[in-house]
Amino acid sequence: MLLKQEIQRRRTFAIISHPDAGKTTLTEKLLLFGGAIHVAGAVKSNKIKKTATSDWMEIEKQRGISVATSVMGFEYNDHKINILDTPGHQDFAEDTYRTLTAVDSVIVVVDVAKGVETQTRKLMEVCRMRHTPVMIFVNKLDREGRDPFEILDELEAELQISVRPLSWPIDMGERFKGVYNLFENCLDLYQPSKQIVTESVHLDIQSPELEKHIGGNLSKKLRDDVELLTEVYPEFDRDEYLAGRLAPVFFGSALNNFGVKELLDCFVQIAPSPKPIQAEERVVDPYEEPFSGFIFKIHANMDPNHRSCIAFVKVCSGKFERNVNYKHIRFNRLMRFSSPTAFMAQKKEILDEAYAGDIVGLPDNGGTFKIGDTLTSGEELHFKGLPSFSPEMFKYIENADPMKSKQLQRGIDQLMDEGVAQLFVNQFNGRKIIGTVGQLQFEVIQYRLLHEYGAQCRWEPISLFKACWIESDDAAQLVDFKKRKYQYMASDKEGRDVFLAESNYLLMMAQQDFKNIKFHFNSEF
């Protein structure tokens, strides 16, 4: 019974959005309410030399953006909340796609002035594919923005999901007075402050008390708006939300702590506890006693003093315990972990047990894990849905300091294990090629190699269109293809054959000439 209760109080979710919509600020404020931190870091303020809790890598502090998903856990209202703050920048989308395989629901942050932006659309596609329940937080109401009804229309059209506002703003920008919370039927009055929490007044929207708080004109407009809302939008239906078809919408200002508590209070009530997960062999139910979990992310150098690597495990079923033997499916051997950790971004603490829905960090110093690995109490299980996509940008990586070739090799190996980018070795000349989905990743790799491994690299241009994994049942044709395309063949980190196409035309010609060869654009085949 205890196992079931523990799992039911878990809420594991990711916060996603376009860069600069306020995702990291929202994460901070959620942690503030959970008592996990006591003062919010003003993310971009130079006066306060604190940076956001979830952006702890040196390069993140310099750029003011998130480049890696960070994991934070805290207790709130007798629920265990696990937040994954993801990078919004499109160059790090792959990290975010993989993170979405490890969460049970998602909060999307939208800027009231900019509305739905490109990256939000892309991430929403992944949520739709997986039927992940979504809540939307419309942020920055303390600035001038677009009409709330217009924003709702855009959310429905662009994200292809029905919406239902559960709070409604009273004006915006400098005239912003607060929101009416339709979920709890109370008025939340706004006071601009980064550190204190707004008070709410429980009153019915028809009550004459309303005029005292926000004045006659705004009271009339609020009542008209809410009447219109109830006519246009269906009643909130939790089953529709859990099926990923209906998104509740909240309005607020994360920077000023406003509307965040309402979002969190509603979230713990309606968000799903851990859900069954499809493995290749069968569906795994979270309430099963035996432990199972998969690695969805690897992070090198969480602590630069120790050069440690951490593998993030999503617990899918049962209970994980410290110092118990678990089976590493790929290696087919038992392993025990003496210092599994729970996270608060970079700060870690040793944990003795974790339940389905939790995220556990396992030390990985010898390259024991790779993304997608499964750990179980003994059963042969393989969790799927952690693909590497074909990169879109390529460069040769060269050693800029011959005295540090070992450090460079180790750095490249560890960073590639993280899934930051992909490494291909050209079979023709033995040179190493790094493939990424965005230019910024090259800068991050170069920066981290220098600052974390003491190795200097330089990039050299290479003109490539796509990297495709190839396979064929026709052995003779495969040999012929590899012989004829010898200059364009490479192997990936797993030693699989990869064809490096220089242009779309050459790729199409290869597909036409070699009918029995399958060309794959992601590594899951």
Q: Could you report the per-residue pLDDT of 211-252, keeping only the tens digit for each?
A: 777 777 888 888 888 888 888 888 889 999 999 999 999 998
Residue 43 has what pLDDT?
Answer: 34
Residue 47 has what pLDDT?
Answer: 31
| Claim to verify: residue 317 and residue 410 sit in the same structural domain | no
Q: Could you report the per-residue pLDDT of 155-187, keeping only the tens digit for each?
A: 999 889 999 999 888 888 888 888 888 888 777
| Claim to verify: residue 104 and residue 252 sit in the same structural domain | yes
| Claim to verify: residue 21 and residue 122 sit in the same structural domain | yes
Q: Is position 453 within any domain?
A: yes
* Of 17-21, 93-97, 108-112, minimum mean pLDDT range: 93-97
| Claim to verify: residue 295 and residue 167 sit in the same structural domain | no
Q: Is position 425 within any domain?
A: yes
| Claim to verify: residue 94 and residue 240 sit in the same structural domain | yes
More confident residue, 320 or 371: 320
* Of 121-130, 308-317, 318-327, minimum mean pLDDT range: 121-130
| Claim to verify: residue 255 and residue 311 sit in the same structural domain | no
Q: What confidence category does residue 49 fall into, taking pLDDT thresholds of 50, 70 and 90?
A: very low
More confident residue, 494 or 64: 494
The count of structural domains within the chain is 3
Going by their DSSP bridges, the two strands 333-335 and 432-436 should be labelled as: unpaired
Measured over the CA atoms of residue 267, residue 273, residue 276 and residue 277, the dihedral's sign is positive
| Claim to verify: residue 300 and residue 247 sit in the same structural domain | no
Q: Is position 416 within any domain?
A: yes
Going by their DSSP bridges, the two strands 10-16 and 79-85 should be labelled as: parallel
Average pLDDT, the chain: 81
Residue 218 has what pLDDT?
Answer: 82
Residue 99 has what pLDDT?
Answer: 76
Cβ atoms of 183 and 166 closer than 8 Å? yes
| Claim to verify: residue 355 and residue 462 sit in the same structural domain | no
| Claim to verify: residue 442 and residue 311 sit in the same structural domain | no
Name the residue range of residue 349's domain. Answer: 277-376
3-state secondary structure of 267: helix
Q: Is the whole model's pTM more than 0.85, yes or no?
A: no
| Claim to verify: residue 28 and residue 158 sit in the same structural domain | yes
Q: Is position 211 within any domain?
A: no
| Claim to verify: residue 70 and residue 104 sit in the same structural domain | yes
- What does the alpha-carbon distance between residue 444 and residue 466 come to, in Å, rounded to a whole number? 22
Q: Is position 139 within any domain?
A: yes
Q: What confidence category does residue 461 fall into, taking pLDDT thresholds of 50, 70 and 90?
A: very high
Report which of 220, 164, 212 is spatially closest to residue 189, judged by C-alpha positions.
212
- Out of 319, 350, 376, a domain closes at 376
| Claim to verify: residue 238 and residue 337 sit in the same structural domain | no
pLDDT above 90 covers a percentage of the chain that reads 26
Q: For the domain that residue 516 is a member of, what is the CATH number?
A: 3.30.70.3280
Q: Is position 302 within any domain?
A: yes
Residue 36 has what pLDDT?
Answer: 52
Q: Is position 197 within any domain?
A: no
Q: Could you report the per-residue pLDDT of 486-503, keeping only the tens digit for each?
A: 899 999 888 889 999 999
- Out of 329, 344, 376, a domain closes at 376
- Out of 270, 297, 314, a domain closes at 270
Residue 143 has what pLDDT?
Answer: 87
**192: exposed, middle or buried (C-beta count within 10 Å: 0-12, 13-18, 19+)?**
middle
Q: For the domain that residue 56 is a member of, what is the CATH number?
A: 3.40.50.300
Residue 185 has what pLDDT?
Answer: 78
| Rg of the chain, C-alpha, whole Å | 25
Report which of 191, 219, 195 is spatially closest to residue 207, judged by C-alpha positions.
219
Q: Could you report the per-residue pLDDT of 405-458, keeping only the tens digit for each?
A: 999 998 888 788 776 688 999 988 899 999 887 777 788 788 888 888 899 999
Backbone angles phi, psi at 412, to 5 degrees: -60, -45
Q: Is position 66 within any domain?
A: yes
pLDDT above 70 covers a percentage of the chain that reads 82
Q: b vs e for 23-57, b when ≥16 Cβ sit within 10 Å of the residue's Cβ? A: bbbbbbbbbbbbebbeebbbbeeeeeeebbbbbbb
Terminal CA-to-CA distance of the chain, rounded, Å?
A: 40
pLDDT(307) > 60: no
Report which of 310, 331, 359 is spatially closest to residue 83, judged by C-alpha positions.
359
